[in-house]
Structure 1
Amino acid sequence: MKTHLIAHTITSPDGSQPPLVQTLAEHSRNTARLCAAICRPLGLEKLGALTGWLHDMGEAAQPVQEHIRQQTGEKPNHSAAGMRWLWEQTAGQSDSVRLAGQMAALAIGCHHSGRCDYLSPDGSRPWLERMDTRQAQALYGESVDAFFSDCCTRQEMESLIQAAALEVAALYKRSKTILPKGEDRQQRQDALQFGLGLAQRFLFSALVDADWTDTASFMGRTPLPPFPSDRQRQATWDLLSGRMERFIRSMEARRPIDLLRQEISGQCLAAAEHLPAGIYRLCVPTGGGKTYSALRFCVETARRQNARRLFYFAPYKSITRQNADNIRRALGAEYVLEHHSDVLFEPDQQDQRERWLALSQRWQGSPVICTTMVQLLDALFAAPRQNVRRLAALAGSVLLLDEVQALPLRHTCLLTLALNTLPHLFGCTVLLCTATQPDLTQVPYPLQFSPDRDLVPDYQARFQQFRRTRVIPPAVQGEQLLPAIADFVAGLLRENRSILVVLNTKGTVNRLFDALAPLMPPDCPLFCLTTYLCQQHRDDVLAQVTRRLGDGLPLVCISTQLIEAGVDLSFDCVVRDLTGLPSIVQAAGRCNRHGDDGCRPVYLIECAGEYLDALPEIHDGREITRALLAQLPPGADLLSPQVIQMYYQRCYSGPRRRLDMQYPVSPGGCAATTMVDLLSSNLRGVQAFLEQGRRPERLKDLCQAFGTAEAAFEAIPDETVPVLVPYGGGKGKLLRLQSAGGTPSLLRELQPYTVSLSPSQCQRLGTALYPVLDGAALALREPYYDSAHKGLSFTPGGMAALVL
């Protein structure tokens, strides 16, 4: 009786039962089928099947079989065999055959690690080195013969190579149109190479997801998850479209501004009824109802295109949380998956938490996914395979990017190149949604909007219709001391019941709070909002503020910019520290939000003593706004689309900023380059390769330094340390964590009771911090947390904090 090659085994704990076995042929077939289905939206079904079939060819060698059967502890390399066989079959063939082989071989060779460079900045080719290790060479011939004897035939795989080459030829043709002919020739070549590289990452993503999914199904003794049929998806979108329309009809027009919001919502629906896949924008003023209008467009577009998913991306978790609630309200909680680190479950909801973890790992199982811009950037560019795995979910989907102006400058070109690629290769529709649309057509790799790019073509007139505030430039030239600003704010209470003050740094907020507190009337509470308050504390403060605003009671709230977006509050008056114009516009959106009280003032001030060296984007934005104020005539409307575009023209001009937009890096001691170059034409790596006297790479070959770029990429530099604080219900949980019964699962329950600090801030706190759970986390001693007002303090008893 023939003994089949095996891929996985499950042994009983006591060894009394014979092991359950999954054959290598079954695992290869299942992975090929899953990978092909994932790649279908890109037109790469055969390439996906080829990659899935060959990914574990190296497991056919006897030493690997002995390891799988637990007869030896040695774990030989089993990724190189399929990689090498594909390379040998395709290296000397036509352009499309060779490129198909490169894409599949790289995915196979890296599927148990991160993607490596195809061509490194120093001119080396690490992927070939992976293929030619001494161990891999010794097992290669045996692996190939055994695999084709037991799993499939050579002829089947050779036929798949030819079919995959036809798909890749069509992909290459589509990639050539990512940037049109009118653009710079090198930029067009960069866009083409970037698109091919992103398609290869997608193939890698599909393989990782298919491999993990089949393995998990076998090990968990569960059937493979089904792919929803076209008919099932269509039925879901029909249902959600009906819910969306009923929800829109249920929103009563109680104010004149509500009628304007309904008109904008109607324009979005009309656009969704005929626009093809592409890149669009929704430019409406703050308070224009853009969340539900944008959602209406996306749901109807998903219904008409029978999209695979609808994604909502926001720059901050606070916005994601609020709008995930809004989306659930419109569509139903059972159809929405919210994915970010602040999603929490009660101790008795362990089953729900495990299901959430499984779905969020793949962005699967729900038609609507609400997550953050960081998660999108990580899926597109970051190294860990968990991030790569999620990329596959984007294909054939509708993507809503909210508050896109908050994107850090260095990610600009990476994102525009990715967004340009998604409609051309991934079949996506993309919507950028904000009141302060950055002019991404003026950046080095311009965004290619669809011809009818504006869902609201008359948006400039809409800004006039929604004008509810006027921005008043600083009355005093130069910086003002905080006591003078406190007097100014206190004076505003004579004519305003509610005042919002937004400053640039946490330290300035705390110092103004201390200066203003003695000046406050007895019936007017003073609130403070910064990230020195844990999330639960901020939520509680916002709840109190919301209640008082709804009841028409007086208050003053001093905050950093965390209140500027995704917070549906309306103050009588706003005071904004000088900063970038988009932040000023967002702050103005918290004033007279519903147009109930004519045209209300937004005062600009300039605080003395702010140190913005560690906040370069705020510093640069402040300088650009200052220069713009000097240029504009008196009385100019700072909230108009024309002035906003003038601001962005300054943001995107100059050699330094244009370089910064391409994400400069100096990887591994190599000379300075950019993330854009590493992921596209890799000019430095190609030049180093040629200088070593090697044959030039052919035009259609891959040339990117994938591994170098992905290792260097950071969506948001994270050098902070989470510190548990004794606020509210967190006090009891902290005590439990310190007790003998404390478990690591309690750390997740304490997520809302954490404050993120830099290492230098932790050092400054010194013995105010203490370890818990055997050093797994740090906690703050109670005298250093002001639960009444300002949160974390660097001195005991809630005395004034002096750090920024």
Structure 2
Amino acid sequence: MDRLIAHTRKLNHDQLEWQTLQEHSCNVAKLCSEICEPFGLGKLGLLTGWLHDMGKASQDVQDHILRKTLQKLNHCSAGMYWLWEHKRKQNFTDWVMAQMACLAIGCHHSGRCDYIAPDGCEPWLDRMHSERAGVRYSENVQAFFSDCCEEGFMLTLINQAAEEFSVFEERVRKKIQEKYDPESENAVFWTTYRFQMGFIQRFLFGALVDADWIDTSCYMNQTFLPHSTSLEERQKLWNRLSEKTENYLKGLSRKYTIDELRQEISDQCFSAAQKCDPGIYRLYVPTGGGKTYSGLRFCMEMARRQNASHVFYFAPYKSITHQNADCIRKVLGSEYVLEHHSDVIFNENSEEGRSQWIALSQRWQDVPVICTTMVQLLNTLFAASRQSIRRLPALANSVLLLDEIQALPLQDICLLNLAMNTLAQVFHCTVVFCTATQPALDKAVYPIEFSLEKDLVGDFEQRFLQFKRVQIIPRLVPGGESVSSVADFTKDLLKENRSVLVILNTKRAVNKLFDTLRERISDDVQLFCLTTYLCQKHRDDVMDKIKKHLQKKSGPSLICISTQLVEAGVDLSFDCVIRSLTGLPSIIQAAGRCNRHGNDKCKDVYLVYCADEDLRYLTEIDTAAQATRRLLEELPEGIDLLSPQAIQTYYQIYYGDQEQRRNMLYRIVPENGLETTMVDLLSNNQNGVQAKREHMGLVVKQGKDKFRWVMRQAFGTAEANFEAIQDENIPLLVPYGKEGRHILAKLLEEDSEIPSFAELQPYTVSIGRRDRKRLESALISVMDGAAFMVLSNYYDSEFKGLCFEAQQ
């Protein structure tokens, strides 16, 4: 064998076929460059791709690839070290460019490490100077340049990448300097600049991982490398999809007066899309304002004008994602829409469809419209998983609609703001924040940077008056009222209303109210319970029953008791709503489930304080409730609680607390014990830099900070501590209904085929660790200990779902 090998695959009779290192390096370089080129980083992508596997050129690594040895060896350090040794040394941008490429090369098989760790050490240099890799370094360099490419070509490429990056960096820096002055040591400038540099590195890393995995997969499966869609082909696609959108929306019937107002809002969104540049915008319309179709209409027209790479729809909950993905599929056609979350279900005979879905969801490429969750977005932006980071390049040059943005956890606000600013300013994205209760993201510690004309619907205040269908009536008894009192009040409301929705803050309170009402109401009243103690299939069935019941003009009365899972994005309309005290945005979202189509006179939404709710472990809800209580005390008389003015005042109170402002930065305590934040680790990394200075005995002199411009972020520490939703959820399989019991029974049969993930997912309930301990005696270990199943008498398939005491 006279060529270096990158991969082998086994043929018949244990014969091996191989892909040369030259072919793999060339393919990865081209793919990585294609991803980076539209944003002015094509040469950097090319350089990173060429060097990523230089360490495979030594004989002992070749022996491992050819399956002569089992020992895995470090093959990531050689290209990293060679580039660092040969980088240009003309200015700081040469260093930053080389640092970015080196980290991508050195970490492409493991995940990003820190430049400077919280204790002051430099893990990226440790990786570069790996002892085990160092002994093979000279051999790697000589063999690689003898077999794969000429060293002169690579030295020229370094110069080209450095010149390209210098232009790119200057453009990024000047954009930030339009708002913040670095010479005044403005903390916001440095945080923004360093965060964006770190985000750009993550983009490059994602591009390399994606290119490496694509080429490797294509070789192993003997398929062609993916076809790159031309700009002309993509433009034709958006023209077609925009036309389909317009034709579909024109055909919608208008049953109610409110439908005319929705059409006006839709027209405003379309008009905005015809003149907007890429940037960050708000779709601020009241509940029931038809924002799903209006937002889609804006996105499709904007994608057509921008010739976008994709349109993304992000929602906080899987139920909303699924509901609106269905709407979008009806408009565009299923072949143009990817729905990506864990509850996506496939038919029994659709293994081919499932395989295709997996391939598309891994990259978010090769399909124009992607509907997924906020969790997937946050993981793509900040989590450690290389699979998540691989999706990041798909966001570039795309239109992103973030629905129900008020549901974003407080801890993620500044992180998301900084990331969205970067996507808009550096990667040509259009971002839309969509909700009836717009959070004051531009008032955060690190604010969102809206476009000059930020509102797609400029007269949103007038729209709130036009859509007024309910009035909020505070009924806050001093000291609160018991579940028993709330039950009596709910029962009394049935005298004037055919349907009542009660939303409480905790599952225990919901179940307690349900039990109390079941004893006090007559048998002809339909009573439903909705919490996450119900598996997804159970919740879907209950929602379907409620929806069918509410659509009837007459019939028995109905009461639904629920947690906040019905507040946003659920197309249900009740005659009356009771909401337990919480943040104003949640109260307004709850009000959106009342008199939704405005076909009745103004209805009532009652605000109560339920003393039986335990919010000790729900601090964000408790803090939000206190902010609402203050709002009720301070709001001038005559101001409607549903108005934008009330919402703005609420956020001034909620965000004004210093503790809350610190929480916006995502506070964490790494292993070294010094509290810091995700925002700081991904930008200034003050603790790490200070520890490094102390270790080196450095004193910072005016204008001579050794670490001022170079990369200093603690990526590995930050990503290891990031959780999109900080909740230690443990999934349990539950025997809901006849079909669920049948599927789970297979897990207990010795010779039975194990059900697929898609079959099991709808029958899963996720609980916290405290609840898990309460169920210890009710669980059966299945799938060789990989999962737990709940005993049948601990699941109420008729009403409450998961129970913590055995049912009769």
Q: CA deviation at 1:349?
A: 1.1
Given that residues 41 and 395 in structure 1 are in contact (C-alpha distance below 8 angstroms), is that contact kept between their aligned partners in structure 2? Answer: no
Task: Give the equivalent residue in structure 2 for 1:680.
Answer: 683
Q: Distance in 2 between matches of 1:300 and 1:683?
A: 44
Give the one of 768, 777, 786 matched to 1:767.
Answer: 777
Return 675-684 or 754-763, whichever deviates more.
754-763
Alignment of 1:645-684 (within 5 A): 645-684=648-687
Q: Distance in 2 between matches of 1:318 and 1:764?
A: 28
Q: CA deviation at 1:475?
A: 5.7
Task: Give the equivalent residue in structure 1 for 2:788.
Answer: 778
Residue 173 (structure 2) pairs with residue 172 (structure 1)? no
Given that residues 743 and 760 in structure 2 are in contact (C-alpha distance below 8 angstroms), is that contact kept between their aligned partners in structure 1? Answer: yes
Secondary structure, counterpart of 2:442 in structure 1: coil
Task: Give the equivalent residue in structure 1 for 2:98.
Answer: 101
Residue 127 (structure 2) pairs with residue 130 (structure 1)? yes
Given that residues 689 and 707 in structure 2 are in contact (C-alpha distance below 8 angstroms), is that contact kept between their aligned partners in structure 1? Answer: no
Q: CA deviation at 1:744?
A: 4.2
- Over the matched positions of the two proteins, sequence identity in percent amounts to 55
Q: Distance in 2 between matches of 1:626 and 1:698?
A: 46
Q: CA deviation at 1:182?
A: 4.8
Q: CA deviation at 1:360?
A: 0.5
Q: Which amino acid aligns with 2:179?
A: K
Return 519-528 or 739-748, whichever deviates more.
739-748
Q: CA deviation at 1:635?
A: 4.7
1:455-485: CA deviation from partner (whole Å, max 9, x where unpaired): 0010001000000000001163330112221
Describe the shift of the 1:698–1:776 C-alpha distance in structure 2 as closer, same or farther (beyond 3 A). closer
Describe the shift of the 1:354–1:60 C-alpha distance in structure 2 as closer, same or farther (beyond 3 A). same
Q: CA deviation at 1:284?
A: 0.1
Given that residues 403 and 433 in structure 2 are in contact (C-alpha distance below 8 angstroms), is that contact kept between their aligned partners in structure 1? Answer: yes
Task: Give the equivalent residue in structure 1 for 2:2.
Answer: 3
Residue 728 (structure 2) pairs with residue 719 (structure 1)? yes
Given that residues 257 and 466 in structure 1 are in contact (C-alpha distance below 8 angstroms), is that contact kept between their aligned partners in structure 2? Answer: yes
Residue 332 (structure 2) pairs with residue 331 (structure 1)? yes
Given that residues 363 and 390 in structure 1 are in contact (C-alpha distance below 8 angstroms), is that contact kept between their aligned partners in structure 2? Answer: yes
Q: Distance in 2 between matches of 1:748 and 1:596?
A: 40
Q: Which amino acid aligns with 2:248?
A: F
Q: CA deviation at 1:633?
A: 4.1
Q: Distance in 2 between matches of 1:174 and 1:400?
A: 26
Given that residues 471 and 601 in structure 1 are in contact (C-alpha distance below 8 angstroms), is that contact kept between their aligned partners in structure 2? Answer: yes
Residue 737 (structure 2) pairs with residue 734 (structure 1)? no
Return 102-111 or 511-520, whichever deviates more.
511-520
Q: Which amino acid aligns with 1:629?
A: L
Q: CA deviation at 1:748?
A: 3.3
TM-score, with length taken from structure 2? 0.96
Task: Give the equivalent residue in structure 1 for 2:706.
Answer: 697
Return 515-524 or 551-560, whichever deviates more.
515-524
Q: Which amino acid aligns with 1:752?
A: P
1:123-178: CA deviation from partner (whole Å, max 9, x where unpaired): 21111111112221111111111111111112211221122122222332233224
Give the one of 597, 619, 622 matched to 1:619.
Answer: 622
Given that residues 206 and 389 in structure 1 are in contact (C-alpha distance below 8 angstroms), is that contact kept between their aligned partners in structure 2? Answer: yes
Residue 317 (structure 2) pairs with residue 322 (structure 1)? no
Q: Distance in 2 between matches of 1:537 and 1:207?
A: 42
Describe the shift of the 1:512–1:698 C-alpha distance in structure 2 as closer, same or farther (beyond 3 A). closer
Alignment of 1:559-574 (within 5 A): 559-574=562-577
Residue 169 (structure 2) pairs with residue 181 (structure 1)? no
Secondary structure, counterpart of 2:477 in structure 1: coil
1:578-605: CA deviation from partner (whole Å, max 9, x where unpaired): 1110000000000000100121100111
Describe the shift of the 1:127–1:405 C-alpha distance in structure 2 as closer, same or farther (beyond 3 A). same
Residue 70 (structure 2) pairs with residue 69 (structure 1)? no
Residue 768 (structure 2) pairs with residue 758 (structure 1)? yes
Give the one of 535, 553, 558 matched to 1:555.
Answer: 558
Return 5+ residue gaps in structure 2 as ranges: 699-704
Alignment of 1:474-485 (within 5 A): 474=475, 476-485=477-486
1:729-768: CA deviation from partner (whole Å, max 9, x where unpaired): 1011011221123444434312111111222322212221
Q: Distance in 2 between matches of 1:590 and 1:174?
A: 47
Q: Which amino acid aligns with 1:495?
A: E
Secondary structure, counterpart of 1:762 in structure 2: helix
Given that residues 416 and 447 in structure 1 are in contact (C-alpha distance below 8 angstroms), is that contact kept between their aligned partners in structure 2? Answer: yes
Q: CA deviation at 1:699?
A: 3.3
Task: Give the equivalent residue in structure 2 for 1:51.
Answer: 48
Q: Distance in 2 between matches of 1:122 and 1:249?
A: 61
Q: Which amino acid aligns with 1:413?
A: C
Alignment of 1:343-492 (within 5 A): 343-474=344-475, 476-492=477-493
Given that residues 280 and 453 in structure 1 are in contact (C-alpha distance below 8 angstroms), is that contact kept between their aligned partners in structure 2? Answer: yes
Task: Give the equivalent residue in structure 2 for 1:796.
Answer: 806
Secondary structure, counterpart of 1:85 in structure 2: helix
Q: Distance in 2 between matches of 1:154 and 1:785?
A: 67
Secondary structure, counterpart of 1:473 in structure 2: strand
Alignment of 1:185-200 (within 5 A): 185-200=186-201
Task: Give the equivalent residue in structure 2 for 1:152.
Answer: 149
Return 434-443 or 119-128, whichever deviates more.
119-128
Q: Distance in 2 between matches of 1:568 and 1:110?
A: 46
Q: CA deviation at 1:655?
A: 1.9
Alignment of 1:482-631 (within 5 A): 482-552=483-553, 553=555, 554-631=557-634
Q: Which amino acid aligns with 1:717?
A: Q
Describe the shift of the 1:420–1:557 C-alpha distance in structure 2 as closer, same or farther (beyond 3 A). same
Q: Distance in 1 between matches of 2:444 and 2:463?
A: 26
Give the one of 620, 641, 644 matched to 1:641.
Answer: 644
Given that residues 97 and 165 in structure 1 are in contact (C-alpha distance below 8 angstroms), is that contact kept between their aligned partners in structure 2? Answer: yes
Given that residues 678 and 709 in structure 1 are in contact (C-alpha distance below 8 angstroms), is that contact kept between their aligned partners in structure 2? Answer: yes
Return 178-187 or 394-403, whichever deviates more.
178-187
Secondary structure, counterpart of 2:571 in structure 1: coil
Secondary structure, counterpart of 2:579 in structure 1: strand
Return 5+ residue gaps in structure 1 as ranges: 799-804
Q: CA deviation at 1:634?
A: 4.7
Given that residues 178 and 421 in structure 1 are in contact (C-alpha distance below 8 angstroms), is that contact kept between their aligned partners in structure 2? Answer: no
Q: Distance in 2 between matches of 1:56 and 1:606?
A: 62
Residue 97 (structure 2) pairs with residue 87 (structure 1)? no
Task: Give the equivalent residue in structure 2 for 1:261.
Answer: 262
TM-score, with length taken from structure 1? 0.97
Given that residues 316 and 372 in structure 1 are in contact (C-alpha distance below 8 angstroms), is that contact kept between their aligned partners in structure 2? Answer: yes
Q: Distance in 2 between matches of 1:475 and 1:108?
A: 60
Q: Which amino acid aligns with 1:8?
A: H
Task: Give the equivalent residue in structure 2 for 1:163.
Answer: 160
Return 634-643 or 465-474, whichever deviates more.
634-643
Task: Give the equivalent residue in structure 2 for 1:801.
Answer: none
Given that residues 530 and 563 in structure 2 are in contact (C-alpha distance below 8 angstroms), is that contact kept between their aligned partners in structure 1? Answer: yes
Q: Which amino acid aligns with 2:807?
A: G
Given that residues 314 and 403 in structure 2 are in contact (C-alpha distance below 8 angstroms), is that contact kept between their aligned partners in structure 1? Answer: yes
